[in-house]
Structure 1
Amino acid sequence: MRVGLKPKDVTALLRERGFKVTPQRLAVYNALAHTTAHPSAETLYRDLLEDYPTMSLATVYKSLNIFCEAGIVQELNVGEDSFRYDANVKAHPHIRCQHCGKVDDVSALPTDSFQQQIAAETGYQLTGQQYYFYGVCPECQQADGRKI
């Protein structure tokens, strides 16, 4: 598993919070935990439809909302019509290609010191953060035949 909880831990957490545990719900989490693609609900739905033909898009959305509420998935708003999702809930920035729409993690940014600086400067007690960067990915640069 790339990042995320084991199925038994997801099951225990959902039951502890009073949520129903279903094979479809576990499949949504499992698919998300095994990818670095930061998929949308629609993408997850399409990916799972072959194995779960009776699953609805509404089930995927409801599952994702529950996972976000439980703190085991984060919702990303990278400037598109729909949200993306990430099972890596540790604070980390994301970068989105403005040509192909791919979203990647950025791991080399020291966000802790930046958050401390923001809190000190503003007096706010920070409760969360999201950092988004935008550019053109190496694949699109190569396809275009130039570096930007």
Structure 2
Amino acid sequence: MNNITAIFKEKKLKLTPQRIAVYKYLKSTEEHPSAETIYKALQPEYPTMSLATVYKALKTLVEVDLVQELNVGEGNFRYDGNTCPHSHIQCLQCGRVEDIKDVCFSDLNEKIAPYTNYEVLTNQIYFYGLCNECKQNKDTLTEAD
């Protein structure tokens, strides 16, 4: 919490209860929820908070690098409270997004440098497949045929 307070003070931004609630929610989970999921989760405690407020809080938290925004395709964004560099994997069946832990691709920036005239600053890597539940459901359906 000291981190968010210091960053908001430094950026001269107002630290609202809604921004704190969204930030705490994201820091408390390894899930990668959408704005709608966050909104529904916070509704019981913040019944007057609107979905628009959640979107605005997320936008601000992303701008100050306290939260990562993940574009999982087709205008579908998820949010991650873990801002350390890491990759993600998404299930093509159910859409679940998970962190890939203990594999670092930071050296990739240097590896691709000879292939472009850009100054490579960062990267974001996504992998796609079937989560265990969807794979098991697929196997069960295949066996039934």
Same fold (TM over 0.5): yes
Q: Distance in 1 between matches of 2:103 and 2:72?
A: 18
Is the CA contact 2:90–2:127 (under 8 Å) kept in the aligned structure 1?
A: yes
Determine the C-alpha separation between the residues in 2 that align with 1:39 and 1:80: 16
* Paired amino acid for 1:61: Y
Looking at structure 2, the residues matched to 119 and 56 of structure 1 have their Cα atoms a distance apart, in angstroms, of 44
Would you say 1:98 and 2:92 are equivalent positions? yes
Moved more, 109-118 or 128-137: 109-118
Deviation at 1:80, TM superposition (A): 4.1
Q: Residue 34 of structure 2 contacts residue 77 of structure 2 at CA under 8 Å; is this kept in 1?
A: yes
Match of 1:75?
A: 69
Matched, 1:129 2:123: yes
TM-score normalised by the chain length of structure 1:
0.87
Q: Which one is further off, 12-21 or 29-38? A: 12-21
Does residue 1:29 correspond to 2:26, yes or no?
A: no
Alpha-carbon shift at residue 108 of structure 1 (Å): 4.0
Normalised TM-score (structure 2): 0.89
Look up the equivalent residue of 1:68 and give its one-letter code: V
Q: Does 1:47 align with 2:41?
A: yes
Shift of 1:78: 1.3
Q: Deviations over 1:61-99 (max 9, x none)?
A: 111111111011111011143211111112211110011
- SS of aligned partner of 1:112: coil
Unaligned regions of 5+ residues in structure 2, if any?
141-145
Cα-Cα RMSD? 1.4
Which has the higher Rg, Structure 1 or Structure 2? 2
Q: Does 2:12 correspond to 1:18?
A: yes
